[in-house]
């Protein structure tokens, strides 16, 4: 028994156009029905973008190996669980517990120089801070914290290193 390969939609349309051209040529007329086939798109190998969770986890993992260089406990850099989709019950419970819209993702609880601590917000892709996050950042800066937004783990880690530059253990 011969197994027939299933044709893609593009191949089906190309065959139908070829058949229409053949029969039109046999009749000595122009083909009447030619299906419009979009040109093939060039294949690109895109590297999948890291999710915000992956960025945050890589920063926390880096911190787990690095915190001793700054003579700080590992818990000095902590996550603020403020985002993500939730059902109504979980959302209302978290709101009752104090989760706030606009709160940034990470807090480094260490005063350095004129700053009381460092807050970091992570974004991915074309995402940008919300109006609540801009308001939160403005508030933090007005009361003596440093705050920054990053779209990759490397720049967020560099921000932490720059913030702690003068605080390294001897």
Which pLDDT does position 135 carry in this prediction?
93
pTM: 0.68
124 burial level (CB within 10 Å; 0-12, 13-18, 19+): middle
Domain limits, the chain: 8-42, 52-167
d(CA 106, CA 22): 67
Look at residue 58 and tell me whether its pLDDT is greater than 50.
yes
Alpha carbon 42 to its chain's center: 25
Ramachandran angles phi, psi of 118, nearest 5°: -120, 125
Determine the Cα–Cα distance for residues 116 and 127; give it in Å rounded to an integer. Answer: 27
User: Which pLDDT score, from 0 to 100, does residue 32 have?
Assistant: 82
Higher-scoring residue by pLDDT: 81, 30: 30
Q: Which CATH architecture has domain 52-167?
A: 3-Layer(aba) Sandwich (3.40)
pLDDT reported for residue 47: 64
Name the phi and psi angles at 147, rounded to 5.
-140, 140
Please give the pLDDT value at position 102. 84
For the beta carbon of residue 160, count every other beta carbon within 10 angstroms.
22
Q: What's the CA angle centered on 63, arms 59 and 68, to 5 degrees?
A: 170
CA 45 to chain centre: 18
Mean pLDDT of the chain: 87
Please give the average per-residue pLDDT across 152-162, as a whole number: 95
pLDDT on residue 123: 92
Phi, psi for residue 78 in degrees, rounded to 5: -135, 155
Of residues 38 and 163, which shows the higher confidence score? 163
Query: Angle formed by the axes of helices 52-66 and 153-163, to 10°?
Result: 40
What pLDDT score does 170 carry? 46
How far from chain centre, in Å, is Cα 74?
Answer: 25
Residue range 62-77: mean pLDDT, rounded: 95
Average pLDDT over residues 28-46: 81
Residue 169 reports pLDDT greater than 50: no
Tokens of residue 1, six digits:
């028994």
Return the higher-pLDDT residue of 34 and 90.
34
């Amino acid at each position: 028994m011969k197994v027939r390969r299933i044709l893609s939609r593009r191949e089906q349309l190309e065959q139908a156009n070829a058949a229409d051209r053949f029969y039109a040529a046999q009749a000595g007329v122009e083909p009447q029905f030619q299906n419009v086939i979009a040109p093939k798109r060039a294949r690109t190998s895109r590297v999948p973008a890291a999710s915000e969770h992956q960025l945050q986890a890589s920063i926390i993992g880096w911190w787990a190996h690095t915190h001793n260089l700054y003579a700080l406990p590992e818990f000095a850099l902590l996550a603020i669980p403020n985002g993500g989709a939730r059902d109504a019950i979980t959302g209302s419970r978290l709101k009752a517990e104090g989760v706030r819209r606009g709160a940034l993702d990470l807090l480094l609880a260490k005063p350095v120089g004129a700053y009381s601590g460092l807050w970091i917000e992570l974004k991915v892709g074309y995402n940008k801070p919300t109006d609540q996050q801009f308001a939160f950042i403005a508030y933090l800066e007005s009361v003596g914290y440093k705050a920054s937004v990053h779209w990759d783990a490397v720049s967020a880690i560099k921000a932490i290193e720059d913030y702690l530059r003068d605080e390294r253990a001897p």
